[in-house]
């Protein structure tokens, strides 16, 4: 793939253009998009036109650029989390009906929990987890549930590079949280993201006993019933694992 004068490839520049859209923002002026993608305006304009020809972007009047439907179509048709979401949704709906609170599903991506599905309803507590949103492992019960069931080598790599930008959590505290989560079989964090909420998450394992996701709930701190909640979430997680194992593989 041809490189630009700065040495980056066309693929690098295309990725920067698509990734330049902030969360919950689908439209940007071409000049702002070029600035966010760190590209000259002429290069950004050329790439946007080419991507628009394939439906990945829409270039509107006045230089307004929006994410295209073709991009959404391909992502939803071929996303690696599609089978996981299909397997999990019925069980997530059951949990939500019982708790009447937020339920989320996350996978591990690097040192972050990436949320691939979330169910919420009017009147439920605040939930910072959003679909396609991320949280660092150490501030997310889903992240702790995921990391605590990874290999020792991966955990050691994670802890070796760990730093808390806020300076409030030490690597020793995170190591202890991971050990407690592995021993208990679930993660819990009270008032970390929001002071009035409690996050609980359990690992979801496939037929080969690999942790592929975390199923979590966010409930009011004042209504916390750990002994009742954990078995219900664990039962749902086992159901998701069985459903995944029963799905045909290509």
* Burial letters 143-154, b for 16+ CB under 10 A, else e: bbbbbbbbeeee
* Residue 64 φ then ψ, to 5°: -85, 125
* Residue 95 φ then ψ, to 5°: -60, -40
User: Same structural domain for residues 20 and 117?
Assistant: no
pTM value is 0.79
Structure token digits, residue 26: 């689908």
- CATH code assigned at 18: 1.10.10.10
- CATH code assigned at 238: 3.30.450.40
Q: Write out the residue range of the structural domain in which residue 235 sits.
A: 79-246
Q: For 3-64, give the DSSP string.
A: B-TTS-BHHHHHHHHHHTSPTT--EEEHHHHHHHTT--HHHHHHHHHHHHHTTSEEE-GGGE
User: Same structural domain for residues 15 and 90?
Assistant: no
pLDDT per residue of the chain (250 residues) written in tens, 0 to 9: 444 545 678 899 999 999 998 877 878 999 999 999 999 999 999 999 999 999 999 998 888 999 998 888 887 776 778 889 999 999 999 998 888 788 999 999 999 999 999 998 765 666 667 777 899 999 999 999 999 999 999 999 999 999 988 878 899 999 999 999 999 999 999 877 777 888 999 999 988 889 999 999 988 877 667 777 899 999 999 999 999 888 766 5
User: Same structural domain for residues 86 and 205?
Assistant: yes
Structure token digits, residue 4: 């630009």
């Amino acid at each position: 793939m041809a490189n630009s004068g700065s040495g980056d490839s066309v693929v690098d520049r295309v990725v920067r253009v698509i990734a330049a859209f902030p969360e919950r923002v689908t439209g940007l002026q071409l000049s702002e998009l070029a600035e966010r993608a760190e590209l000259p305006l002429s290069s950004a304009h050329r790439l946007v036109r080419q991507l628009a020809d394939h439906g990945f972007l829409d270039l509107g009047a006045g230089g307004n650029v929006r994410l295209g439907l073709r991009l959404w179509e391909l992502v939803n048709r071929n996303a690696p989390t599609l089978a996981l979401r299909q397997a999990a949704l019925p069980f997530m709906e059951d949990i939500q009906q019982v708790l009447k609170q937020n339920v989320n599903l996350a996978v591990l991506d690097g040192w972050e929990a990436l949320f691939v599905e979330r169910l919420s309803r009017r009147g439920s507590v605040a939930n910072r987890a959003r679909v396609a949103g991320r949280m660092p492992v150490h501030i997310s019960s889903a992240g702790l549930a995921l990391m605590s069931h990874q290999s020792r080598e991966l955990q050691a790599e994670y802890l070796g590079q760990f730093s808390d930008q806020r300076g409030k959590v030490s690597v020793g505290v995170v190591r202890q949280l991971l050990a407690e989560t592995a021993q208990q079989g679930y993660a819990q964090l009270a008032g970390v993201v929001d002071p009035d909420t409690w996050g609980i998450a359990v690992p979801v394992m496939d037929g080969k006993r690999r942790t592929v996701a975390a199923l979590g709930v966010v409930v009011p701190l004042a209504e916390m019933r750990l002994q009742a909640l954990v078995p219900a979430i664990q039962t749902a997680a086992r159901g998701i694992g069985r459903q995944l194992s029963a799905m045909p593989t290509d």
